[in-house]
Structure 1
């Protein structure tokens, strides 16, 4: 039995990101499905929607798979505008 897996080189938040209270510029995002992101070595684009402009750049620090969902923790390295 296989497991569907999607590789992502961009974070698309759709406004569902949550700020980590005790760490500056850290966010958590949970997405449906199993997704693979580059960890700690690459800076990836952050967008609200797939077709919109880049709002910033982030480094993904942690990724968890559980019950058909992927949760990532990322730190914003650069913000292109005001949220």
Structure 2
């Protein structure tokens, strides 16, 4: 039996990110998702929205049909 998984190449926050230190954030997404690690990728609030900045994912955790990503915002395009 296979495990449903989604491959993501950008971080889409929908405003649900949580800052835990300076420019380090966590984000919990429903379902199992695969992200590239330690490679600069776009961070957006919505898929079609403006670019917030560039982030690097440091850690991905899968548990209870959810994916938690820990990422560092390495550049910011605008203030919130």
TM-score range, shorter chain: over 0.9
Alpha-carbon deviation of 1:12? 0.3
Aligned alpha-carbon RMSD (Å)? 0.6
Instruction: Map 1:15-54; keep pairs closer than 5 Å.
Output: 15-20=15-20, 23-40=21-38, 42-54=39-51
Question: What residue is the counterpart of 1:10 in the other structure?
Answer: 10
Deviation per residue, 1:1-52 (Å, 9 max, x gap): 11111110100000000001xx320000000000000111x10000000011
In structure 2, stretches of 5+ residues that fail to align are none
Distance (whole Å) between structure 2 residues aligned to residue 46 and residue 4 of structure 1: 24
Higher strand share: 2
Match of 1:61 in 2: 58
Aligned length: 80
Provide runs of 4+ in structure 1 moved above 6 Å: none
